A and B are shown apart, each in its own frame.
Chain A
Amino acid sequence: MNETQFLQLIDQHQGIIFKICRLYRDTKEDREDLFQEIVFQLWKSLPGYSARASFTTWMYRVALTTAIAVFRKKQPRIVYTAALPEHTLGPRPENPAAEQLMQTLKQLNDGEKALIALYLEDLSYQEIAEITGISENYVGVKLNRIKQKLAKLWTH
């Protein structure tokens, strides 16, 4: 696969990377850094990609590994603006449902986040098992536990 073909595939599936960044990082700057880190890692890891597996399966694996394994910045980045912002708590979210979902998902641990993200993408248990490396049955067990946890968090 050459650079142009690779970039076309990334362009096509960049929504996946964006959602993973939102799930694993809290600030806009950290998400931007993670997005770039994931794209860079995908490119660096490309020689290890076998065309036998689907591109998205491989992409999920590399993106989730990067999101979990790369260290977060120790300190929040401070941005000085010329004027005080109008909203003290930040701008109103574009999509309140998505924002509420994210706040709930962020309360899960890193491993649980990976599993639920794959489930919410509508991947089959077989595909989730292939990406994560755990058995299909165990995927079911784990997801049931996470769903129960989420149901509690969602109603609170």
Chain B
Amino acid sequence: MDTLKSAWQGMPGREKQQHELRGMLQEGKHPVLKQLRRQVIFESLLFTVFLVVYYDFFDGNRKPPALNALLVSGVLLVIVHGILGYFAAKQPVKGNSLHEALSARLKQLKTFAILSVTFRVLSTVCMLLFFTYAITFTVNKQLIFGGAAVILLIQFAILVWMWVRRIARLGAAAKELN
């Protein structure tokens, strides 16, 4: 163990300059947050444009107001989800110990996972209801719709699996320190 300790303590560390460290305090220069922010802005802009044009382009005027409201809600859910994700990512560490902090993160992660999957399912259902309204289902259309449904189900399964894996990993670390 002494060999390990001396190897650990003698490990060379790259020295960061004061100006580099100062830059790291800024949210604008944070690599992950910067990427998330770009993604949220891009998605929000794209969906805003969609909301502006969908009424004319996708015959919103020929569909019941309730379906229009559902579509708008579905799109808004996607935008809100992105914004919530951004704020969740910059949450500071809370807790008086590593175990408490990891448990708090785990709780937050579980809440966000439920929210994320629910939002994704709801927004997809809203959009599907809007776009499939008044369609006469021929065999071909049924096959296309069936194929799209299978792809969506696979996507949901991957999303759930991804969250379960993240939660399990963090849960294992919190349990190890219990």
Contacts and interface: CB of A to CB of B under 8 A. Distances in A.
Interface of A: 3, 7, 10-11, 14-15, 18-19, 22, 33, 35-37, 39-41, 43-45, 47-48, 60-62, 64-66, 68-71, 94-95, 97-98, 100-101, 109-112, 114-115, 117, 120-122, 130-134, 147, 150, 154
Contact of A44 (B1, B32, B90, B102): B90
B83 interface: no
B31 A62 contact: no
B49 interface: no
Chain B interface size range: 35 or more
B15 A65 contact: no
Interface in B17-49: 18, 21-22, 24-25, 27, 29-32
Given A33-B31, A112-B176, A133 B8 contact: no
A78 B91 CA distance: 29
B interface secondary structure, majority: helix
Contact of A33 (B1, B10, B14, B32): B32
22 contacts: A14-B15, A15-B11, A15-B13, A22-B11, A35-B16, A39-B25, A41-B93, A44-B90, A44-B92, A48-B92, A48-B94, A61-B95, A68-B102, A68-B173, A69-B170, A98-B7, A101-B8, A121-B9, A122-B5, A122-B9, A134-B99, A154-B4
